[in-house]
């Protein structure tokens, strides 16, 4: 039973649109993460947060932004989607090992 | 040199055999080690964690850690076709518990 939820599961959107990928967890974890993963490829950390009002950029440069206003909520926003943003986006939270959400598969056309 | 290295595979084993998956890491100060399983199109799920040298067993899975050699492995006994997946090694390089993932080893278990 998932304690970390991502919506939408799939999203197809046009170039130039603003999108927000939602991530929520019910475990009270302070640490949350966003990863990007292309099919068959590595996980790349794009953003992380160690608590409310704390956000950092990850190892992979990304045009997305994140916010952490509440412990349970860590949304990711793309102001202007481009085809190069097409990928799977995975949210995770942790105390020690990560628990991943089901992911959002984003396609920008 | 990558921080966490895994052979990409595929590693092919017959059903019922032992599958051995290996991972090396570069930072001697690494403290925590994890194995994740990822089925195609799905998100990773945690299988094992290990923090100290030696073996840790959980059902058909055994994680082995050797900090002196900077090496962590996962053994899967009595492999089943349902074990066919990509196995990701992840290492926490410091007390922040931010994980660095390897690129994964694809395991194929032949019926």
Q: What is the 3-state secondary structure (H, E, C) of A53-69?
A: CEEEECCCCCCCEECCC
d(CA B72, CA B62): 11
Size of interface A-B (CB pairs under 8 A): 44
Determine the pLDDT at residue A97. Answer: 81
Determine the pLDDT at residue A85. Answer: 95
Task: Collect all residues of chain A within an 8 Å Cβ-Cβ radius of residue B102.
Answer: 42
Q: Which residue has the higher pLDDT, A58 or B84?
A: B84
Determine the pLDDT at residue B95. Answer: 63
Residue whose C-alpha is closest to residue A80's, from A65, A58, A60, A91: A65
Residue whose C-alpha is closest to residue B88's, from B17, B52, B39: B39
Q: Minimal Cα–Cα distance from A18 to chain B, Å?
A: 25
Determine the pLDDT at residue A39. Answer: 86
- How does residue B66 score in pLDDT terms, banded at 50, 70 and 90? very high
Task: Collect all residues of chain A within an 8 Å Cβ-Cβ radius of residue B34.
Answer: 97-98
Determine the pLDDT at residue B2. Answer: 75
Residue B96 pLDDT greater than 80, yes or no: no
Determine the pLDDT at residue B86. Answer: 97
Residue whose C-alpha is closest to residue B79's, from B56, B106, B107: B107
d(CA A19, CA B61): 40
| Residues 6 or more apart whose Cβ sits within 8 Å of residue A26 | A3, A4, A72
Interface check B95 vs A, CB under 8 A: no
Determine the pLDDT at residue A2. Answer: 60
pLDDT tens profile B1-59: 678 999 988 999 999 999 999 999 999 888 899 999 999 989 999 999 999 999 999 99
pLDDT tens profile A12-70: 999 999 999 999 999 999 999 999 999 888 899 999 999 999 999 988 878 899 999 99
Residue A1 pLDDT greater than 60, yes or no: no
Q: DSSP labels for B53-69? A: SEEEEETTEEEEEETTT
């Amino acid at each position: 039973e998932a304690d970390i939820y991502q919506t939408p599961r799939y999203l197809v959107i046009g170039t130039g649109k603003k999108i927000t990928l939602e991530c929520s967890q019910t475990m009270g974890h302070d640490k949350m993460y966003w990863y990007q993963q292309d099919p068959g490829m590595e996980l790349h950390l794009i953003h992380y947060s160690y608590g409310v009002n704390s956000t950092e950029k990850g190892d992979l440069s990304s045009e997305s932004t994140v916010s952490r206003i509440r412990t349970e909520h860590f949304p990711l926003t793309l102001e202007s989607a481009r085809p190069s943003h097409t990928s799977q986006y995975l949210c995770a939270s942790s105390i020690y090992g990560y628990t991943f959400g089901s992911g959002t598969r984003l396609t920008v056309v | 040199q990558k921080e966490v290295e895994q052979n990409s595979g595929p590693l092919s084993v017959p059903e019922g055999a032992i599958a051995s998956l290996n991972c090396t890491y570069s930072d001697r100060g690494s403290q925590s080690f994890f194995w994740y399983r990822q089925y195609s199109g799905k998100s990773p799920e945690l299988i094992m964690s290990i923090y100290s040298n030696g073996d840790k067993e959980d059902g058909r899975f055994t994680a082995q850690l050797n900090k002196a050699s900077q090496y962590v492995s996962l053994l899967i006994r009595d492999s089943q076709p349902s074990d066919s997946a990509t196995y990701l090694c992840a290492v926490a390089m410091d007390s922040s518990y931010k994980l660095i993932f390897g690129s994964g080893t694809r395991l194929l278990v032949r019926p």
